[in-house]
Chains A and B, each alone.
Chain A
Amino acid sequence: QKEVEQDPGPLSVPEGAIVSLNCTYSNSAFQYFMWYRQYSRKGPELLMYTYSSGNKEDGRFTAQVDKSSKYISLFIRDSQPSDSATYLCATQGGSEKLVFGKGTKLTVNP
């Protein structure tokens, strides 16, 4: 079983839609969870960073962690064409390395 699983999509939504991106992970020791956004031909940029369970909100973005089901989610409200990118989840289990999902490609259509 892979440590982090992420549906690769692609996901296409109309502008203004609520987007839900999800990952599952296998190691219950993971404590830190991140979402990265990667625009085409650019490096990944950190979008959200949460510790343990619960929700974290930043503008139109909400990151959610459910440790009981080993499930992490990113919600985007009122999605915009500028949100079109690949979104990668990542988690860290106490070591110096991150474990990344393969990314979900999102397109928001005007």
Chain B
Amino acid sequence: NAGVTQTPKFRILKIGQSMTLQCTQDMNHNYMYWYRQDPGMGLKLIYYSVGAGITDKGEVPNGYNVSRSTTEDFPLRLELAAPSQTSVYFCASSSPDRGSYEQYFGPGTRLTVT
């Protein structure tokens, strides 16, 4: 099992550009999450999904959008990138519906907006 994979690993965007961060998991988890991590600030939840077709906002959703058309994939869309979106983005998945609350993380995407 590859677990949770994310692409790209790194990206530099200009202000106002858009991009999609890809996330795929092969553990058949229904729940998926997007976090951002800034130095000294811990992990902040952006969006999450409890199953295909169902998404909900986390703590810091502004400037982002998500969709969940399959169990495996949970892409994160940045529209009109701003310098405040410079961060490291992590995708995670879990299976609390089966009693397993621990989350498994991908390797991250390091995004710089200039």
List chain A positions with a Cβ less than 8 A from chain B. 8, 32, 34, 36, 41-46, 49, 88, 90, 92, 96-98, 100-103
Contacts and interface: CB of A to CB of B under 8 A. Distances in A.
Interface in B32-64: 33, 40-43, 45, 48, 50, 58
Contacts of B90: 43-44
Interface string B72-114: 0000000000000000001000101000011111111010000
Contacts of A41: 108, 110
B43 A88 contact: yes
Nearest to B105: A43
Contacts of B58: 97
A41 B37 CA distance: 11
Given A8-B40, A102-B40, A102-B42, A96 B31 contact: yes
Given A46-B102, A96-B50, 5 more contacts: A8-B40, A43-B106, A43-B107, A44-B105, A98-B101
A103 B108 CA distance: 17
Main SS at interface, chain B: strand
Contacts of A92: 96, 101
B67 to A, nearest CB: 18
Contacts, number: 47
Contact of B101 (A32, A43, A103): A32
A102 B102 CA distance: 17
A42 B108 contact: yes
A81 to B, nearest CB: 22
A43 B108 contact: yes
Contacts of B50: 96
Nearest to A44: B105
Pairs A-B, 10 closest by C-beta atoms = A102-B42, A43-B105, A92-B101, A32-B101, A100-B43, A43-B107, A44-B105, A49-B102, A43-B108, A96-B96
Nearest to B45: A97
A96 B48 contact: yes
Given A96-B31, A96-B48, A103 B42 contact: yes
A96 B41 CA distance: 22
A41 B90 CA distance: 11
